[in-house]
Amino acid sequence: MVIALLVCLAATAATGLVAYGEQGKGPLATRPSTVSVAQANSEAKRAARLEGATERSESMAGELHCILANITLALVILHIVGRPAARLGS
């Protein structure tokens, strides 16, 4: 049970970082080192267009992150509920 919790928690954190990086934020965000004014303007326009699209549908990493977070929560609940029952059996 503990190993499953640790694996799910690590996978949730990893997919969260990837999903956050896809939004251009966090440590995994891709940032160009030198950006011209024209590139910055085109990037701003592209980001504005993509912002509407990302609000409508999440990325695959975001979906996987949500699923793993729910699985982790279920494992935590099962771990807490199952612990007193294990004491009764011994």
How many C-beta atoms surround the C-beta of residue 44 within 10 A?
10
* Domain assignment of residue 17, given as a range: 2-89
Residue 23: predicted pLDDT: 82
Provide the number of structural domains found in the chain.
1
Residue 29: predicted pLDDT: 79
Q: What are the pLDDT digits (tens) for 18-67?
A: 998 888 888 877 765 455 556 656 666 676 666 655 444 568 999 999 99
Q: Is 31 left (phi over 0), alpha (psi -120 to 50) or beta?
A: beta
Retrieve residue 13's tokens: 């954190």
Q: Model-level pTM greater than 0.75? A: no
Give the distance from CA 10 to its chain's centroid. 11
